[in-house]
Amino acid sequence: MHVNYDPQIAYECVQCGRGCFNRWDINVEPEVAQSVRGHALELRVIQDRGQAFREHEGQLIIHKDKDHPRCGFLKEDLLCSIHSELGYQAKPLTCQQYPYVFVQTPDRQIHASAVYSCTAVREELGPPLSESRESIEDLLRRGARVHRLDGNIEVLPPFVTTYSEIQAYEAELNRRLGQMPISAAFEEAILGLANALSSLGQPDEELLLEEGFLASTWGRAKLVPQEARTNLQLVKTILSMGLLKPCLPSQDREVWKKIDAAVLGDAELEIPDFNWHAPLSELDLWLTEGVGHRFDGQIKRFQGSLLFRKAHLTMGGLLPGLILVWIMPSIIRLLTGLHAWKEQVESTQSNFLWALETAETHLVGHTFDTVPVYQRAAWQSVAISRSYPL
Ligand code: SF4
C-alpha cells in the first residue's frame, strides 16, 4: 500500500471531545453495538436519552436528538466511555478514524489527510501527519473508510475525463498556484474550464472529453472578456451568502429567507444569529476593515489540504470542486467577520478558528450534502460563459 501524507497537517489528539459534540451522524458497526448491549455503558445512555443506537437509511448510528446533540458515550471528562472501559479498538471505526480522511486515486495511491473540524488539526497541535504512519496504515488494513476514485473522473456530470488528463491539469494548476495569487489562479482555472464546457452543449449521457480538452482550457482563460470575470464575482457573492445558511448556529429557515431577500436587493441583511442588521454593502466594508487579509496564510493551508485530499475531484466533479476550494477564503472571512461582529471586537484568532471549524464541518460534507450547491454554481459559470463565446 502506498500512502502519501498531507504535509499541511500536524496532529496529536488533545482529548477535547469536540468532534463528539457535532451534529453529524456517527456510523456504528453491528459488532460494536453488540459488544455494549446490556453493558452498564449502554444502560447509562438509555437512561439519559431513551436509546443508544438507531437505524438511519439502513445504517446503524449513534442515537442523538435535538435535546441530546452530542454523542451519548462521551463522559463528563470529555473522554469516550467505550474507549475508557472497553479499549480503543472497541470504538466504532468512524471514531477510530476521526479526524483522518483517505482518498484513493485511480493509480492506487492513497492520500491521507485530516479534517479541520478537529481542534488539534485546526490549531496544528502535534507532530507532522507522517509520524502517525503506523496507526494510519493499521486503520487502512482494518477497513477504514476510503473514498475511492476509479475509472473516469467527473469534470461536471455528464462530462468525464481520464485520470491522466486530470494529473496533467493538476500539475499546471499547481504551477500557477506557485506563481500567482491563489484566487487569481483559481479564477483562471474556473473561467477557462467553464468557457470550454459552454462550447459543448449539455449531453444527456456521460460524455468522455477529448484528450487535450482540459489542457486547452488554460489558453481560453486568457481570452475571457472582463464582463465574464465581473459576472463570476457575482456568482461568488451569491454562493457565499448561500453557503452561509447551513453554517448558521440557529438553522432557522426564516433567517435563510431573509438572506435570500437581501441578496435579491429586496431588504437589508438581517442575521439574528450574529446580531447583524444592515445593508449587504456594510458587511463588505466590515469584512474589508474588520477581517482584511490577516488569516490568509492559515486559509491557504486549509486550501492546500483540500487539494491534497482531492476535494476538487470528490465534491461533484472538477469544476464544482475548484469552485469549492476557490470560495473557501470568502466564506471563512465572512464567518470570521460575523462572529467578531457578534462579540463586538475586531476579528481575532478565535473568531477565525470558529469560522474554519464551521466551514469544514458544514460545507465540505460532514453534515450537509453541499455537492448540489457547488454543481449549481458550476453550471451558472458555464451559463455565464455561453454569453461570451470565444
Ligand atoms: S476533536 Fe480532535 S483533538 Fe479533540 S478529541 Fe477529537 S480527535 Fe482529539
One pLDDT digit (tens) per residue for the chain, 390 residues: 799 999 999 999 999 998 888 878 899 999 999 999 988 989 999 999 999 999 998 899 999 988 888 999 999 888 999 999 999 999 999 999 999 999 999 999 999 999 999 999 999 999 999 999 999 999 999 999 999 999 999 999 999 999 999 999 999 999 999 999 999 999 999 999 999 999 998 888 999 999 999 999 999 988 989 998 999 998 999 999 999 999 999 989 999 999 999 998 888 999 999 999 999 889 989 998 889 999 999 999 999 999 999 999 999 999 999 999 999 999 999 999 999 999 988 899 999 999 999 999 999 976 778 999 999 999 999 999 888 877
Judge if the beta carbon of residue 118 lies within 6 A of ligand 1.
yes
Judge if the beta carbon of residue 17 lies within 6 A of ligand 1.
yes
Judge if the beta carbon of residue 365 lies within 6 A of ligand 1.
no
Judge if the beta carbon of residue 16 lies within 6 A of ligand 1.
yes
Ligand 1 closest atom vs CA 17? 5
pLDDT at 203: 86
> In angstroms, what is the span from residue 219 Cα to ligand 1's centroid?
45
| Distance between CA atoms of residues 141 and 92, nearest Å | 15
| Distance between CA atoms of residues 212 and 110, nearest Å | 26
> In angstroms, what is the span from residue 338 Cα to ligand 1's centroid?
25
Judge if the beta carbon of residue 43 lies within 6 A of ligand 1.
no
| Residue with grid cell 465534491, as numbered in its chain | 315
Ligand 1 closest atom vs CA 20? 6
> In angstroms, what is the span from residue 209 Cα to ligand 1's centroid?
42
